[in-house]
Structure 1
């Protein structure tokens, strides 16, 4: 059976914010979606800002309009069945309307040198279960997630390079009853590298609120706060504002020397490594070696993924601890105030952050009233 890794690549998730009425927004993206070869317009294509609740579909003529409530950096994602995913980075520094003309290429994906696994037999189902562990995670929130269209997932195994791959012919539809979201996820890549002992996956999620009465909504709001606090997004948002200590983070640096890891017991002032970013909205974290991040306001039990929320009381028991480091040749992580990271595939995360996967992931336009990012 396929097993998940000890290290996980950071998600390729990008951007922010929710849909407001067209007249209320000063930041607008509008465009048209068509077939690149024939020029025929494509109606009902999915159009959204990745990792947000902002989304729409193109109309009968392939036209669309997205209204964004404030400035920031975004990834515009357009997906139509049978076509390659369109992505375009967009930044708003001042009120404006950005127009895009989108020509989609037919997806003629060819996979060579790999073994295609039989679909819907016992082996396929075992690999499906392992995929769900690696993709959704093992936390209590992940246990309440369900992929509604599992039949669109296929698996390949590259025997020569010992690499396992999963891909989906359509966006995955995920229902997260713990956090109250229905997620449409465009899976761009899922790999388990057995020789290197890590896995990676990336893609583009779009969030929609589930309907519910007062009782489940209250539970969702509480769970969303638990999921957000201590997350990668919360960490980088806190670092941007130089609030790591206030928000309960302790950072230490470790070095690997001759096959052994040495952890500096002293707390590191990580903000000293933060520099101005490439845009007016971003900053850069420039560092070497390995960073250990302990979140002191939430405990974990001996059972992986179990969470005991003690967010108001720092304690000395089992705390969340994660680590991350830059990949070879990379020198910085660039990020914005809301926790959005420009180059998420340039670093690896491990330990607690590697355990928290789609089952705990929050949209970046989530606003927590107790967060320092107000």
Structure 2
């Protein structure tokens, strides 16, 4: 099953301008009792630890970013460590999670099984790339599915962090899933969460380094870094504006078909239709819903920059940006995913669309995370199975 639009899953992280120590204590709200075993980490990074028996924690070499305080049966806390702050000593009070009822039908949804939805979840969340297919989700039993029949929406929830082993990139990812939805009516999916990367050190360092470079170059993180640094051409990216124009005639024919179906449902009768009209309608309905028009001129970085806020550069554009990476061609598996295995591989092209202005930083991150969506090549390759920590730097 294929979905044409995927929302990026990165969460808000500020630029890493300085390194610092962050220490503190985690206690239960109301009682002040220390809580052991709570995860404390910088989101989408390799910097993390767990609280000791007295609730204390200490992190060194901490970049600016979102500090996540997360534990089973407790609500997560997000604390933004800002650039330029002195070493921090913090105290966090965690609230217990409110347990939800697991009745068969509640709140408009029905509970569903891994057997029914597991493969779709894995393909959407971990991905369909060769690297993603070698990943192992170690605790799939932690996931519960809810299907909303009226809205045709699938939702996945987990009360504990998902543990994903990625042997190709040599990471273990602890992913605190905050949101996961697939809309079958719109063919769109979205997920978000907090990720801590742990080094496995189980494969050859050379092989892991090679795979990490392959995952990085041409990725959304690579592009955002290049855009932030005004190095699009130097990093082998071409960017053009794209306008999507709907097929008005197809919309008209679709409305006529819907009206005829409604008439048939109400009266059991349908107006006679000539063979020529039927053939024309069939031909029109076989066309694409829209036509994409690409601007011939390459776009400059300053054409989409709107200002700066803190460590962020703000960007905005109308319609779509077409991003082509000249440093590599499409994977053979991507052509199979498109249903065109015999088509010659082209340079990787992705389409980016905004809901509103988005902030980008030097680490390759964007915020708000759900306001930037991709389709095309990144719609296939941007997934947890190809994800790298934001503190990753390719060795030259």
**TM-score, reference length from structure 2:** 0.81
Q: Are residues 297 and 103 of structure 1, via their aligned partners in 2, closer, same or farther at CA, if it must alter by over 3 Å?
A: same
Unaligned runs of 5+ in 2: 101-105, 248-289, 338-343
State the distance in 2 between where 1:192 and 1:293 align: 25
Question: In the alignment, is residue 296 of structure 1 matched against residue 291 of structure 2?
Answer: no
SS at match of 2:150: coil
Higher-helix-fraction structure: 2
Aligned to 1:312: none
**Higher CA-based Rg:** 2
Question: In the alignment, is residue 7 of structure 1 matched against residue 2 of structure 2?
Answer: no
Match for residue 268 of structure 1 among 296, 299, 319: 299
Q: Are the counterparts in 2 of residues 235 and 339 from structure 1 also a CA contact under 8 Å?
A: yes
Deviation at 1:234, TM superposition (A): 0.7
Match for residue 253 of structure 1 among 231, 238, 241: 241
For residues 192-238 of structure 1, give each alpha carbon's deviation from its aligned partner in whole angstroms, at most 9, with x where no partner exists. Answer: 0122220000101100111236xx21100000011011111111111
Equivalent residues in 2 for 1:35-46, closer than 5 Å: 35-46=28-39
State the distance in 1 between where 2:367 and 2:216 align: 19
SS at match of 1:130: helix
Match for residue 187 of structure 1 among 167, 172, 177: 177
Q: Are the counterparts in 2 of residues 17 and 54 from structure 1 also a CA contact under 8 Å?
A: no
Aligned to 1:310: none
Question: In the alignment, is residue 284 of structure 1 matched against residue 330 of structure 2?
Answer: no
Question: In the alignment, is residue 346 of structure 1 matched against residue 371 of structure 2?
Answer: yes
Deviation at 1:257, TM superposition (A): 3.6
Deviation at 1:175, TM superposition (A): 0.5
Question: In the alignment, is residue 365 of structure 1 matched against residue 360 of structure 2?
Answer: no
Q: Are the counterparts in 1 of residues 315 and 358 from structure 2 also a CA contact under 8 Å?
A: yes
Q: Are residues 249 and 52 of structure 1, via their aligned partners in 2, closer, same or farther at CA, if it must alter by over 3 Å?
A: same
Q: Are the counterparts in 2 of residues 14 and 51 from structure 1 also a CA contact under 8 Å?
A: no
For residues 144-190 of structure 1, give each alpha carbon's deviation from its aligned partner in whole angstroms, at most 9, with x where no partner exists. Answer: 10001111111010112111001112100110000000110000111
Q: Are the counterparts in 2 of residues 49 and 77 from structure 1 also a CA contact under 8 Å?
A: yes
Equivalent residues in 2 for 1:100-115, closer than 5 Å: 100-110=90-100, 112-115=107-110
State the distance in 2 between where 1:43 and 1:353 align: 39
Question: In the alignment, is residue 322 of structure 1 matched against residue 322 of structure 2?
Answer: no
Q: Are the counterparts in 2 of residues 16 and 363 from structure 1 also a CA contact under 8 Å?
A: no
State the distance in 2 between where 1:128 and 1:366 align: 30
SS at match of 2:208: helix
For residues 59-117 of structure 1, give each alpha carbon's deviation from its aligned partner in whole angstroms, at most 9, with x where no partner exists. Answer: 111111122355x3x111111111122112221225x1223321112111546221112
Equivalent residues in 2 for 1:34-183, closer than 5 Å: 34-68=27-61, 70=63, 72=64, 74-94=65-85, 96-110=86-100, 112-117=107-112, 119=113, 124-183=114-173
Q: Are residues 155 and 62 of structure 1, via their aligned partners in 2, closer, same or farther at CA, if it must alter by over 3 Å?
A: same
Q: Are residues 202 and 100 of structure 1, via their aligned partners in 2, closer, same or farther at CA, if it must alter by over 3 Å?
A: same
Unaligned runs of 5+ in 1: 19-24, 308-315
SS at match of 2:348: strand
Question: In the alignment, is residue 218 of structure 1 matched against residue 211 of structure 2?
Answer: no
Number of residue pairs matched by the alignment: 340
State the distance in 2 between where 1:169 and 1:283 align: 35
**Over aligned residues, Cα RMSD in angstroms?**
2.3
State the distance in 2 between where 1:227 and 1:84 align: 32
Q: Are residues 154 and 263 of structure 1, via their aligned partners in 2, closer, same or farther at CA, if it must alter by over 3 Å?
A: same
Q: Are the counterparts in 1 of residues 10 and 192 from structure 2 also a CA contact under 8 Å?
A: yes
Q: Are residues 97 and 47 of structure 1, via their aligned partners in 2, closer, same or farther at CA, if it must alter by over 3 Å?
A: same
State the distance in 2 between where 1:69 and 1:105 align: 25
Q: Are the counterparts in 1 of residues 241 and 294 from structure 2 also a CA contact under 8 Å?
A: yes
Deviation at 1:52, TM superposition (A): 0.2
Q: Are residues 15 and 163 of structure 1, via their aligned partners in 2, closer, same or farther at CA, if it must alter by over 3 Å?
A: same
**TM-score, reference length from structure 1:** 0.85
Q: Are residues 225 and 305 of structure 1, via their aligned partners in 2, closer, same or farther at CA, if it must alter by over 3 Å?
A: farther
Aligned to 1:313: none
State the distance in 2 between where 1:90 and 1:160 align: 42
Q: Are the counterparts in 2 of residues 256 and 262 from structure 1 also a CA contact under 8 Å?
A: yes
Q: Are residues 228 and 16 of structure 1, via their aligned partners in 2, closer, same or farther at CA, if it must alter by over 3 Å?
A: farther
State the distance in 1 between where 2:373 and 2:133 align: 24
Q: Are residues 35 and 180 of structure 1, via their aligned partners in 2, closer, same or farther at CA, if it must alter by over 3 Å?
A: same
